[in-house]
């Protein structure tokens, strides 16, 4: 019998399961499988009573390791979801081998944060936490972050519990308002290997807090993706400092983050120091990096990034005809790597913009200070990788 259970209909259409009687015919094989290690529910919609019936079955699945409940509440009333989710999560807390829980693509909002807190703060065996595209908002995000910090206390109290390795929490409108809580959560989990917080509306001050007070301490990081937030020089300075401590880093994603000309230079200079010898992919698209910053990044590729296979620079502010571009392409070709992406959307910098880094970046930061704090493919890829890998 397969150790993977997938909730699906015979015709491949999404299931709408409201009552216990609705779900019963679809979980007969699950009930009979004492050795199931992975459950996938995604793409169906489950009501309160259906979730309660499923929860009763989950209580018996002591070998379960992966629980994928992404996108299971489409079309449900706001009033239904708390009880339905609570039933499932309460059952999951009884499973000693459960290391991966994916709750992405469910419209929780801040109202579900307390339910999530009760689970995350007690989920001792958890190693991989996937909570992407849930609309948490800054208040809900802070509650979730605090629960993750509480989880660190629980794990520290019991040496048999594994460390937390993965946090994916993108597209959740976390904004600056939750960054102190997230920084504290990351500082409490220094063994993290993968962190993805894309498209969260985080502004430079929040990025600085996140990096300086949190991720700086996660020196086992292998994969960091913060794309589509706003850095400017303030956040880029914090990144340049933190990156020197991530000596095991393999993938860094800060595309579409408005690093700024000065910020691109600072990051390039930091990467030149050779502290990141295992970096294989560096995503820097659409960051207003000019030719000076690009030269610093090229020098980093030469001096400190011998394993870099992919460098993404499209959408920055230098010409694709600059000799530097051909030098980079030749360098990657010599190393046998994929190398530079297509520079099809470059914006040439003006002389005025090149003249004074300090003044232009000061204007950027002043503009940022005037702004009040207010279905992701990367998660699908990570989940697919976990599903395809041997369950350990």
Q: What are the pLDDT digits (tens) for 154-201? A: 999 999 999 999 999 999 999 999 999 999 999 999 999 999 999 999
pLDDT band at 354 (very low <50, low <70, confident <90, very high): very low
Q: Residues 234, 360: one domain?
A: yes
Q: Residues 80, 117: one domain?
A: no
Q: Is 389 inside a domain boundary?
A: no
Q: List, as one string, the DSSP characters of 227-287.
A: -SS--HHHHHHHHHHHHTT-TT--EEE-TTS---HHHHHHHHHHHTTSS-TT--EEE--SS
Q: Residues 366, 224: one domain?
A: yes
Q: Is 194 inside a domain boundary?
A: yes
pLDDT band at 390 (very low <50, low <70, confident <90, very high): very low
What's the average model confidence in pLDDT over 196-223? Answer: 99
Q: Is 309 inside a domain boundary?
A: yes
Q: Residues 191, 327: one domain?
A: no
pLDDT for the residue 221: 99
Q: What is the pLDDT of residues 39-53, one digit of tens each?
A: 999 999 999 999 999
Q: Pick from 82, 98, 114: which residue ends a domain?
A: 98
pLDDT for the residue 382: 59
Contact 247, 220 (CB under 8 A): no
Q: Is 215 inside a domain boundary?
A: no
pLDDT at 377 over 60: no
Q: Residues 251, 197: one domain?
A: no
pLDDT for the residue 185: 99
Contact 219, 246 (CB under 8 A): yes
In 3-state terms, what secondary structure has residue 333? helix
What average pLDDT does the structure give for the chain? 92
Q: Residues 174, 85: one domain?
A: no
Q: Residues 67, 122: one domain?
A: no
Q: What is the pLDDT of residues 317-343, one digit of tens each?
A: 999 999 999 999 999 999 999 899 999
pLDDT band at 1 (very low <50, low <70, confident <90, very high): low
Q: Residues 87, 148: one domain?
A: no
pLDDT for the residue 338: 86
Q: Return the CATH number at 239.
A: 3.80.10.10
Q: Report the domain count for the chain.
A: 3
Q: For residue 374, what are the CA distances in angstroms to 112, 213, 365?
A: 19, 21, 17
Q: Residues 9, 142: one domain?
A: no
Q: Residues 60, 114: one domain?
A: no
Domain holding 274, by residue range, is: 220-374
Q: Residues 368, 234: one domain?
A: yes
Q: Is 48 inside a domain boundary?
A: yes
Q: What is the pLDDT of residues 95-148, one digit of tens each?
A: 999 999 999 999 999 999 999 999 999 999 999 999 999 999 999 999 999 999
Q: Is 121 inside a domain boundary?
A: yes
pLDDT band at 347 (very low <50, low <70, confident <90, very high): confident
Nearest to 197 by CA among 205, 189, 207, 187: 207
Q: Residues 12, 92: one domain?
A: yes
């Amino acid at each position: 019998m397969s150790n993977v259970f997938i909730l699906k209909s015979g015709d491949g259409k999404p299931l709408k399961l409201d009552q216990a009687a609705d779900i019963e015919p679809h979980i007969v094989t699950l009930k009979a499988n004492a050795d199931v290690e992975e459950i996938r529910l995604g793409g169906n919609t489950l009501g309160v009573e259906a979730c309660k019936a499923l929860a009763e079955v989950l209580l018996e699945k002591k070998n379960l390791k992966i629980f994928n409940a992404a996108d299971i509440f489409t079309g449900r009333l706001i009033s239904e979801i708390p009880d339905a989710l609570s039933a499932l999560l309460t059952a999951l807390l009884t499973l000693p081998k459960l290391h991966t829980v994916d709750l992405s693509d469910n419209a929780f909002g801040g109202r579900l944060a307390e339910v999530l807190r009760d689970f995350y703060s007690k989920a001792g065996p958890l190693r991989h936490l996937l909570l992407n595209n849930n609309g948490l908002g800054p208040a809900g995000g802070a509650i979730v972050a605090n629960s993750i910090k509480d989880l660190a206390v629980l794990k520290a109290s019991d040496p048999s519990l594994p460390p937390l390795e993965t946090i994916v929490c993108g597209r959740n409108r976390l904004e600056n308002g939750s960054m102190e809580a997230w920084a504290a959560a990351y500082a409490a989990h220094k063994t993290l290997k993968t962190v993805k917080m894309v498209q969260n509306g985080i502004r430079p001050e929040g990025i600085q807090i996140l990096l300086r007070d949190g991720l700086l301490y996660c020196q086992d990081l292998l994969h960091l993706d913060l794309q589509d937030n706003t850095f400017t020089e303030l956040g880029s300075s914090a990144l340049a400092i933190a990156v020197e401590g991530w000596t095991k880093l393999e993938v860094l994603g800060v595309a579409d983050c408005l690093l700024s000309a000065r910020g691109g230079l600072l990051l390039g200079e930091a990467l030149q120091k050779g502290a990141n010898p295992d970096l294989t992919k560096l995503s820097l698209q659409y960051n207003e990096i000019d030719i000076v910053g690009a030269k610093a990044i090229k020098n980093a590729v030469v001096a400190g990034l011998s394993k870099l296979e992919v460098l993404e620079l499209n959408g920055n502010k230098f010409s694709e005809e600059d000799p530097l571009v051909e030098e980079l392409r030749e360098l990657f070709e010599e190393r046998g790597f994929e190398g530079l992406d297509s520079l099809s959307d470059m914006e040439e910098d003006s002389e005025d913009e090149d003249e004074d880094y300090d003044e232009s970046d000061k204007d950027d930061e002043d503009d940022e200070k005037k702004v009040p704090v207010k279905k992701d493919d990367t998660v699908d890829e990570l989940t697919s990788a976990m599903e395809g890998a041997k369950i350990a």
